[in-house]
Amino acid sequence: MNNTAFTLKGNIIYSKGPKELVCIPNGYLVCEEGKVAGVYETLPEKYRQLPCTDHQDRIIIPGLVDLHTHAPQYAIRSLGMDMELLKWLEYNTFPEEAKYSDPEYATKAYSMFVNDLRKSATTRACIFGTIHVNGTEILMDLLERTGLKCKVGKVNMNRNCPEVLCEDSEQSLRDTKLWLESARIKYNNITPIITPRFLPSCTEDLLTELSVICRQEDLPVQSHLSENLLEIEFVKELFPSTEGYADAYNEYGLFGGSVPTIMAHCIYLTEDEIKLAKQNQVFIAHCPDSNMNLSSGIAPVRTYLNQELKMGLGSDVAAGDSLSIFKMMTEAVKVSKLLWRLQDQNLTPLSIDEAFYLGTKGGGEFFGKVGSFEEGYEFDAVVIDDASLEHPQPLTLKQRLERVIYLSDDRNLVSKYVEGIKII
Amino acid sequence: MNNTAFTLKGNIIYSKGPKELVCIPNGYLVCEEGKVAGVYETLPEKYRQLPCTDHQDRIIIPGLVDLHTHAPQYAIRSLGMDMELLKWLEYNTFPEEAKYSDPEYATKAYSMFVNDLRKSATTRACIFGTIHVNGTEILMDLLERTGLKCKVGKVNMNRNCPEVLCEDSEQSLRDTKLWLESARIKYNNITPIITPRFLPSCTEDLLTELSVICRQEDLPVQSHLSENLLEIEFVKELFPSTEGYADAYNEYGLFGGSVPTIMAHCIYLTEDEIKLAKQNQVFIAHCPDSNMNLSSGIAPVRTYLNQELKMGLGSDVAAGDSLSIFKMMTEAVKVSKLLWRLQDQNLTPLSIDEAFYLGTKGGGEFFGKVGSFEEGYEFDAVVIDDASLEHPQPLTLKQRLERVIYLSDDRNLVSKYVEGIKII
């Protein structure tokens, strides 16, 4: 399926690191076996026989990576944005997620989510479903057909939630195993990820058992960490014997190390938690839009970049109001400026290069060699036509990228490749 | 031109006050002589003979109002967003504004700005030009043809700027009078507004003379106030004899009272300045996007609402990256949440109702009875088709408005009326 080789010609931009943006005007991007074989200003002789799509003045960048989003919340994005996390879950989110026990509603609602994700510049996403096995399979079926590569989780939760969404531990584990049985063999593009909602929703025994599943089945985990001050207080009450939020996850074997882990938010990590996250190679999903909408705060991304933590961006729909990772890049920059201004002048605001890195290679690393055009990276690419973004003056390629990030929308996306397969 | 009467049928939404959102499903909005004659659930007998456009399930809201934007900066929006105000002016803005001495460049660049403003949901805007008379007339000519109602200012500046943009006082006043001569008679839709850039760019004598022009010619004024901490320090150095930034404007007769005044930003007003702004009925243009992009800070909008100051929203392109006043509504809400979270828990975040008010009636008041559908208001209306914003669940009309504010773009705008004239 991936054994074709071809070349794209156009204005190529990608990140090698947070401060290493590479811009190749009128370059060639070569795909072999679903991987990047190289980026060239002049196409080497050996590739000249390959089929070449000439995108002329268009821009070609790596597919964007969404490290954290909730498919069943897509229908309520932008609604009821006047609560903090715990109330928002109670009044907006849980009632909506309960609807996904109904396959008809799940199909209708997930189709809208999947269709919009397909049309976006995102090629990889880590996605929360609901507790429902059937509903989560519907989501995975729909995603599989798009050609996007996603990690999807059936949610586990067995306390502090409405009865209709509250599993008992046995049922939660039984359903998880049932779901994994089909999920592990049924799909080419979609893989399962273990998904305890967050500490307040899970008992110790459930967390421990989920950790066993991760190790037995070699599966990653995704959850939430230190998003909201009231949530953090609540975790302290619920897990009095642990040293803190991250420590509790770690104690139950769900905080990196041998279990690849994404933790969304990480706004209020202590120094010890930062150290632990680094040591265990936990990925932080920075979700600036969500963190504004739920009045959660601003994550100190500069600190995490300085300490070289693993990190990417998350749309966190529906606390975030958009699936656009371009928008998350701009908001990551914006909130970093406010954190610098209002709280700590040592935390230099993010540059657009850094934000672009986070939304591509930074988050992509959770999927392996993803999010860059360096040799050997999976060939995820999106082609952007920015001609509709009119301007009267000449622009550098870097400036055109800035405009794409701030100003483009789905109309500007021309095509999209995932592991060398053209899906749009 | 305005002596027609007609009716629009649809889902009608407007604000009476910051906390008074009115939603009339399947209602009738009646226009007579360019003004709102009334909003009705059932159309009164006397209006049943009027031509009626049935917009069925579409949403009809007042045209949005942009109290502060810079047309000549539109070309550089989203570029070089890594500086604070004074450096950003020096490196990004002034070099761009200098180009508007060339009528060809001005025509090309202003056409892009005007075309995008026309396609937006905005019906009224207060707009900065440059120092150039000819360039500013080009902008006014282009705007006039759209049917939008705008106040446009030739900028005055005679110090602390590059030579090519630095007027001497006499020239500045001579050019202003020259510009006013034609501007006051040439246009139906566009009116002039006196526009000293901001205190650092203007000497005392220039400010005083501009104030005389305002009074002689019965003109309003627009400028900037307390946007950035370094700017505020600079103003203190430049005007040592005044008590502060607002006080200096006031001393030179450019701070409300008999001269209707818009001051953009107002992030760091002192208590005395707030009192003076209230007393003099100065309009604050709150520009949340700009204030993030230039790391300026967050204006305490809650304080201003509590004190019942006059206030609206400004896109402040190009420190703001978008002309969309819908986006400014969402960002006003978002930054208010961060201010509450990070700085002052007494400053309750804005509700979406309040943000909608600010972007319609709040700012509209600067234009008179504008920005609402109460009887006697100018008939500025935009018709939004939100059918493309798919959703699986039933929604209230209020929820549909929330989605329009967060999720819509120019594709959703169906038609636009200004003072009863259909311009789209």
From residue A293, how far is each of A152, A199, B397 by CA, in Å? 24, 21, 21
pLDDT score of A185: 87
- Cβ of B75 and A403 within 8 Å? no
- Number of other CB atoms surrounding residue B279 within 10 Å: 12
pLDDT of chain A along its 424 residues, tens only?
445 899 999 999 999 999 999 999 999 999 999 999 999 999 999 999 999 999 999 999 999 999 999 999 999 999 999 999 999 999 999 999 999 999 999 999 999 999 999 999 999 999 999 999 999 999 999 999 999 999 999 999 999 999 999 999 999 999 999 999 999 889 999 999 999 999 999 999 999 999 999 999 999 999 999 999 999 999 999 999 999 999 999 999 999 999 999 999 999 999 999 999 999 999 999 999 999 999 999 999 999 999 999 999 999 999 999 999 999 999 999 999 999 999 999 999 999 999 999 999 999 999 999 999 999 999 999 999 999 999 999 999 999 999 999 999 999 999 999 999 999 9
B79 and A105 within 8 Å at the Cβ level: the answer is no
**Looking at this protein, which amino acid is placed at residue A300?**
P
Closest C-alpha among A127, A136, A130, A146 to residue A285: A127
Distance from CA of A391 to the nearest CA of B (A): 6
* Residues facing B9 on adjacent strands: B28, B54
In total, chain B counts a number of residues equal to: 424
Pairwise CA distance, residues B203 & B286, whole Å: 26
* Residue-by-residue DSSP string for B37-58: EEEESS--GGGTTS-EEEEEEE
Q: Smallest CA–CA separation between B251 and chain A, in Å?
A: 30
Distances (CA, A) of B111 to A392, B95, B357: 10, 19, 30
Two structure tokens written together for B109: 């660049």
Of A143, A130, A125, A222, which Cα lies nearest the Cα of A188? A143
CB pairs under 8 A between A and B: 121
8 Å CB contact of A79 and B403: yes
Q: What is the pLDDT of residue B3?
A: 56
Residue A91 to residues A80, A85, A291: CA-CA distances in angstroms? Answer: 9, 10, 18
CA B294 to chain centre: 19
CA dihedral B159, B164, B168, B169 (to 10 degrees): -70
Contact assessment for residue A315 and residue A325, using Cβ atoms and an 8 Å cutoff: yes
DSSP state of A63: P
In DSSP terms, which residues pair with A8 in a beta bridge? A29, A53
Q: Does domain B6-62+371-422 have CATH number 2.30.40.10?
A: yes
* Peptide bond connecting A387 to the previous residue in cis, omega within 30 degrees of 0: no
B298 and A335: CB-CB below 8 Å? no
Residue of A nearest to B324 (CA): A407
Which helix (H) or strand (E) covers residue A283, if one does? strand A283-286
**CATH of segment(s) A64-367:** 3.20.20.140
- Asked if the Cβ–Cβ distance from B390 to A343 is below 8 Å, we say no
CATH 2.30.40.10 domain span(s) along chain B: 6-62+371-422
β-strand pairing of A283-286 with A261-265: parallel
Nearest CB to B402: which of A79, A322, A342? A79
The chain B residue lying nearest A319, using CA atoms, is B334
- Minimum distance, in Å, between the CA of residue B38 and any CA atom of chain A: 29
Best interface-test mutation with A: which of B294, B334, B345 has the largest number of A CBs within 10 A? B334
User: Quick one: pLDDT at residue A419?
Assistant: 97
CB–CB contact B75 A399 (8 Å):
no
**In chain B, which segments carry CATH 3.20.20.140?**
64-367
Report the candidate in B269, B354, B273 with the shortest Cα–Cα distance to residue B311: B354
CB A222 within 8 A of CB A193: yes
How far is Cα A30 from Cα A51, in angstroms, rounded to an integer? Answer: 10
- pLDDT recorded at residue A322: 98
The verdict on a CB contact (< 8 Å) between A407 and B77 is yes
Side chain identity at A217, as an amino acid letter? Answer: E
Rounded-to-5 percentages of helix, strand, coil across chain A: 45, 25, 35
Both tokens of A408, joined, read: 């483009």
How far apart CA A140 and CA B21 sit, in angstroms, is 41
* Token pair for B51: 């031509």
Nearest to A387 by CA among A372, A374, A368, A400: A400
Q: Could you tell me which residues come within 8 angstroms of residue B260 by beta carbon, excluding any fewer than 6 positions away?
A: B220, B221, B281, B283, B366
Indicate yes or no: CB of A390 within 8 angstroms of CB of B297: no
- Report the C-alpha gap between A99 and A101 in whole angstroms: 5
Q: Which candidate in B74, B87, B265, B292 is best for mutational testing of the A interface (most A CBs within 10 A)?
A: B292
Which of B19, B21, B73, B79 has the most A C-beta neighbours within 10 Å, making it the best mutation to test the interface with A? Answer: B79
Q: What's the confidence (pLDDT) of residue A3? A: 56
Q: Residue A81 and residue B402: Cβ atoms within 8 Å?
A: yes
Helices (H), A10-129: 85-88, 94-98, 103-119
Residues of B in contact with A340 (CB under 8 A): 295
With CA atoms as reference, report the closest residue to A313 among A122, A148, A152, A139. A122
* pLDDT per residue as tens, chain B (424 positions): 445 899 999 999 999 999 999 999 999 999 999 999 999 999 999 999 999 999 999 999 999 999 999 999 999 999 999 999 999 999 999 999 999 999 999 999 999 999 999 999 999 999 999 999 999 999 999 999 999 999 999 999 999 999 999 999 999 999 999 999 999 889 999 999 999 999 999 999 999 999 999 999 999 999 999 999 999 999 999 999 999 999 999 999 999 999 999 999 999 999 999 999 999 999 999 999 999 999 999 999 999 999 999 999 999 999 999 999 999 999 999 999 999 999 999 999 999 999 999 999 999 999 999 999 999 999 999 999 999 999 999 999 999 999 999 999 999 999 999 999 999 9
Between chains, do B99 and A393 touch, taking CB under 8 Å as contact? yes
Token pair of A17 as six digits: 């690191």
* Set of chain A residues whose Cβ sits within 8 Å of the Cβ of B334: 292-293
H-type helices in B147-202, by residue range? Answer: 169-186
For residue B326, give Cα distances in angstroms to A343, B70, B122.
28, 18, 9
Q: Which two tokens stand for residue B3?
A: 């002596």
Give which of B139, B267, B341 to mutate to test A binding, by max A Cβ within 10 Å: B341
